[in-house]
Amino acid sequence: MKRTRDEVDATLQIAKLNAAELLPAVHCLGFGPGASGAAAGDFCLLELEPTLCQQLEDGHSLVIRGDKDEQAVLCSKDKTYDLKIADTSNMLLFIPGCKTPDQLKKEDSHCNIIHTEIFGFSNNYWELRRRRPKLKKLKKLLMENPYEGPDSQKEKDSNSSKYTTEDLLDQIQASEEEIMTQLQVLNACKIGGYWRILEFDYEMKLLNHVTQLVDSESWSFSKVPLNTCLQELGPLEPEEMIEHCLKCYGKKYVDEGEVYFELDADKICRAAARMLLQNAVKFNLAEFQEVWQQSVPEGMVTSLDQLKGLALVDRHSRPEIIFLLKVDDLPEDNQERFNSLFSLREKWTEEDIAPYIQDLCGEKQTIGALLTKYSRSSMQNGVKVYNSRRPIS
């Protein structure tokens, strides 16, 4: 049965509400034939921040990503969010075409009664929480089949693992923009439509070709001509690989219509150090620094600051040693990362640990905040050090 105006006024009077203080329009709610048998789990509500609402209104998509064994995340074009269920004590009703008080105020409505049918209901909704993208899997997939050069036997094997952009979007829990940014960080390139990481020895082979050519031509490291490089090194390696190497270790610019690259000394020195350290468990620091300086092109100066997040120095051993410790080999989870670091070394200075936790910092989060949450501080010989809050097995 539909309520009349007299019944509505009588209800207001019983509730001791002044009709003059309310909007004239009245919504009378009732369950429709379908909604009366609907269960609370038949519908899902998703709470969105204004920027995500605007993206949907502009025609963009929001994508839920994750394998069966992973916690699902929601991705916009440039951000990643955790999906969390929020329960509410108030029943949430789905009412198609329902008008809000603001909409009713704009209408020239008199004392009309609007009979509204409830389509469904829910006792909870999904809320989003911004999170770091889960990108460790990206490198793992690409390292299944690193590119060793056009003549490699692997390139003739059609069964080797290869991934297109669509494959990566389907398997990596991150937004497209975050995935593309990480592909640049990994120095990945597209070969035959598939994303590939160069095998490190092959990458160093390309870099040596470039630096030897720069030396033989007496070019400045800040002005390496692309076309001449391609002409001289083209017979040795594919031109697209030479140009990719220049992009990885230099910055592209144009001068008087000619394309040049300014080589990055820090990146080249860092690569040389990795080459030396990858075959040694531990390296005498003094000997390493001497060999390292000799292994880089003349005119470049090595510095331990170039190795942050790549190698760790032990100043307490005698003699002092250095060994390879790459940040991208550490666990992605915050607690697991700290457990791994504290199992490797009991006490850390902020200077030593910072390169290995910097990537864990979320928006508006600092290294200091992470250290406060996951470690204890103390003074050792006048220097603040950090150790684990929990026993490390």
| 391 has pLDDT over 90 | no
Where residue 354 falls among pLDDT bands split at 50, 70, 90?
A: very high
Q: Does residue 63 or residue 94 have the better pLDDT?
A: 63
Domain co-membership, 148 together with 258: no
Those residues whose C-beta lies under 8 Å from the C-beta of residue 62, and which sit 6 or more positions away, are 52, 55, 56, 74, 75, 76
% of the chain residues with pLDDT over 70: 95
CA-based nearest residue to 205, from 253, 177, 245: 245
Where residue 364 falls among pLDDT bands split at 50, 70, 90?
A: confident
pLDDT of residue 33: 66
Which tokens belong to 6?
Answer: 């007299």
| Backbone CA torsion sign across 166, 172, 177, 182 | negative
Q: Which domain holds residue 97?
A: 5-61+78-129
- Among the three residues 210, 241, 263, which one is the final residue of a domain in this structure? 263
12 found inside a domain: yes
318 found inside a domain: no
| 155 has pLDDT over 80 | no
| 36 has pLDDT over 60 | no
Which tokens belong to 46?
Answer: 């998703």
365 found inside a domain: yes
Domain co-membership, 48 together with 98: yes
Where residue 90 falls among pLDDT bands split at 50, 70, 90?
A: confident
pLDDT of residue 310: 96
Instruction: Kindly state the helix (H) or strand (E) to which residue 11 belongs, with its residue range.
Output: helix 5-14
CA-based nearest residue to 177, from 81, 56, 78, 80: 78
Tens-digit pLDDT profile for residues 63-88: 999 888 888 899 999 999 999 988 88
91, HSE (Cβ side, Cα atoms, 13 Å): 9
| 57 has pLDDT over 60 | yes
Which tokens belong to 131?
Answer: 């999170």
pLDDT of residue 165: 95
Domain co-membership, 204 together with 227: yes
Tens-digit pLDDT profile for residues 267-325: 999 999 999 999 888 999 999 999 999 999 999 999 999 999 999 999 889 999 999 99
Domain co-membership, 89 together with 19: yes
Domain co-membership, 83 together with 184: no
Residue 146 carries which side chain, given as an amino acid letter? P
- Among the three residues 219, 239, 263, which one is the final residue of a domain in this structure? 263
Domain co-membership, 54 together with 107: yes
Average pLDDT over residues 109-121: 76
**Beta-bridge partner residues of 375:** 388
Domain co-membership, 157 together with 114: no
Domain co-membership, 55 together with 120: yes
Cβ 326 vs Cβ 309: under 8 Å: yes
Domain co-membership, 96 together with 148: no
67 found inside a domain: no
Beta strand pairing call for 80-94 and 113-118: unpaired
Domain co-membership, 164 together with 94: no
145 found inside a domain: yes
293 found inside a domain: no
Average pLDDT over residues 175-179: 96
Domain count, the chain: 4
Domain co-membership, 104 together with 39: yes
CATH classification at residue 345: 1.10.10
pLDDT of residue 113: 80
Compute CA distances 206 → 169, 219, 234, whole Å. 30, 17, 11
Please give the distance of CA 112 from its chain centroid, rounded to a whole number.
53
Tens-digit pLDDT profile for residues 195-241: 999 999 999 999 999 999 999 999 999 999 999 999 999 999 999 99
Cβ 87 vs Cβ 136: under 8 Å: no
CA angle 305, 309, 310 (to 5 degrees): 85
Q: Does residue 122 or residue 128 have the better pLDDT?
A: 128
Cβ 150 vs Cβ 236: under 8 Å: no
Tens-digit pLDDT profile for residues 13-24: 898 888 788 877
Domain co-membership, 185 together with 208: no
Those residues whose C-beta lies under 8 Å from the C-beta of residue 33, and which sit 6 or more positions away, are none
Pick from 8-17, 103-112, 131-140: least confident: 103-112
- Among the three residues 89, 114, 129, which one is the final residue of a domain in this structure? 129
273 found inside a domain: no
216 found inside a domain: yes
